[in-house]
Structure 1
């Protein structure tokens, strides 16, 4: 009770009233009634002043701080927030500062936890992806060492399989190096004007055999028959188009088609790669650009690839100050879209 607003106000008001009455008593011929009235007025005025000052300016704000600290301990940041304004009450400003600081620190902690989980998952995925081709090549080579090398047919077959396993390992390492270099900024984009339609036609030719195996037709949109100028890093955009079209072939339906379109906007070129495959379920759409993320791990492994293609696409497009987005409808296919600067008017 003593350390409540009322208790402190009572003690302070009583002290002031006593001091005031003592001074008045020194005046000669001061009647007792006057001293009593002076004591009462001084006490009442001081009590009200101290009580309301302590209650509304100090104790109430301190209680809010304790409530806030309790919420911080429970990681509850769902407080009704008003727009922060400059307040003359230092305790209220302290309350705001504590909340802002605690919120930022919790966000940092949450982000670090996400990064830690991502690191663990990434290391596990890398270990698994590296282990598969290494063990495969190792097995073929040891089989040859154990005597199969004397059989020409077996030797050639196993050497071919070992070589393909090592080629897959090399592709994985190269993709990892590309991602690492892009994230650290070691790879700079070399902008130039080029015909993106011609570049895509070359990608069509490279992937024609793979598309023919599934009887998939690689086509441009009807409105994109002439030259389409873009201003970007031609080599990196070539990687983007190769990865997107290759994915469209892998996951598209047999006897289907892959459609590439270029739509002109004011200052940009809208590039879209569309397949007519089974589509991607909504819960997977937000994660498909993550490294090694596979929608169906068993089926994806059968289709080959390093699992890094879309992650590389994302980084290359972001390095061009743009973003790649994806839309998909179950049973109707998937479309990847990104923007590039137009090449018209560029040297």
Structure 2
């Protein structure tokens, strides 16, 4: 589409109207007056020139005023929404082109806003659906245990303590889920601040492994640590949050690893950063699931089911903690070849 300026449009209209009126005036004058052969030519030229410049001035001013009003409105709405002020504009330019650019920009901006709101609405629906689904399982379990106890099971010593313990376990699961939701909400809104300090990551890992040793023995999984060297490895981190990250990743590797398998925690020197990997030799994750693995409540079918009792928020929390450290976390995996989660931390010098 060719751009056309108000002045060019005015010239075209004036040219057409001037020619039409000049021809009509010459014909009417010729029918009512006596003239020699050259007089109509001179009359047409004079009339056409006069009409052309009169129309050109009138039409150009009319079109300019109307288009400038439209452009000022569009421009001021755009600038006012961005900056909260109304700016003056230079109207001595190709206004039609500017109007076209602003309308296209306005359309693109609004399309993006509509897409963003649509995504937010979709996320809200999915989030509410996921929370409801996750809470139903422990709630229905608690309801079933209590009904059984009320219907006579309370007097039966073979089931009363067992059912109360199971109900307590479901309550604990709900509490963990609510706590995780509260934590991830604070992380997303930056209400949960990191308490950075210089930490020996090896020592931190030893504490995590000690706390998870029993879980690993239950599945006969070996926890193997491969360090860079025997010296302390100092990093800048929030020790409480990074303990949470390591615990979550290692627990996942135990849950989803093969019985009798292994979990390896490996360290690599990346100049200013340290790369930490947590790898298992379990069933692995198909490639289609990897992009969504860190989403809240996202679960991979079969190998990562609700039967393991997690809240479905662990990896999302891990991602937010690492990002709060201004670092990155990634996963690589394929079916039947295990999964490897890797994240970075900034190196530090012990004072």
| Short-chain TM bin | 0.7 to 0.9
Aligned to 2:154: 149
RMSD (CA atoms): 3.4
Aligned to 1:185: 190
Give the secondary-structure state (helix, strand or coil) at the position aligned to 1:259: strand
1:214 aligns with 2:214: no
Aligned to 1:281: 286
1:224/1:261 contact within 8 Å kept: no
What is the alpha-carbon distance in structure 1 between the residues aligned to residue 302 and residue 94 of structure 2? 59
What is the alpha-carbon distance in structure 1 between the residues aligned to residue 198 and residue 279 of structure 2? 25
Change (3 A) 1:34 1:332: farther
Q: CA deviation at 1:195?
A: 1.1
Q: CA deviation at 1:38?
A: 7.2
Aligned to 1:301: 306
What is the alpha-carbon distance in structure 1 between the residues aligned to residue 348 and residue 190 of structure 2? 24
Give the secondary-structure state (helix, strand or coil) at the position aligned to 2:159: helix
Q: CA deviation at 1:10?
A: 4.7
- Note the 1:45-194 alignment, pairs <5 A: 88-194=93-199
Provide, for residues 283-335 of structure 1, a one-character-per-residue CA deviation record: whole Å limited to 9, x for no partner.
11111111111111685112221110001011111111122111123322222
Correspondence for 1:227 among 225, 232, 257: 232
1:343 aligns with 2:343: no
Change (3 A) 1:222 1:267: closer
Aligned to 1:70: none
Correspondence for 1:267 among 269, 272, 286: 272
Q: CA deviation at 1:20?
A: 12
Q: CA deviation at 1:139?
A: 1.7
What is the alpha-carbon distance in structure 1 between the residues aligned to residue 22 and residue 241 of structure 2? 84
2:283/2:303 contact within 8 Å kept: no
1:228/1:262 contact within 8 Å kept: no
Aligned length: 303
What is the alpha-carbon distance in structure 1 between the residues aligned to residue 294 and residue 230 of structure 2? 31
What is the alpha-carbon distance in structure 1 between the residues aligned to residue 335 and residue 151 of structure 2? 50
Question: What TM-score, normalized by structure 2, do the two folds share?
Answer: 0.76
Provide, for residues 60-88 of structure 1, a one-character-per-residue CA deviation record: whole Å limited to 9, x for no partner.
xx9xxxxxxxxxxxxxxxxxxxxxxxx94
Change (3 A) 1:224 1:122: farther
What is the alpha-carbon distance in structure 1 between the residues aligned to residue 219 and residue 322 of structure 2? 29
Gaps of 5+ in 2: 1-8, 27-34, 68-91
Correspondence for 1:329 among 334, 347, 350: 334
What is the alpha-carbon distance in structure 1 between the residues aligned to residue 175 and residue 343 of structure 2? 29
Aligned to 1:71: none
Change (3 A) 1:222 1:199: closer
Query: Which shifted more, 105-114 or 148-157?
Result: 148-157
Question: What TM-score, normalized by structure 1, do the two folds share?
Answer: 0.77
Correspondence for 1:256 among 245, 254, 261: 261
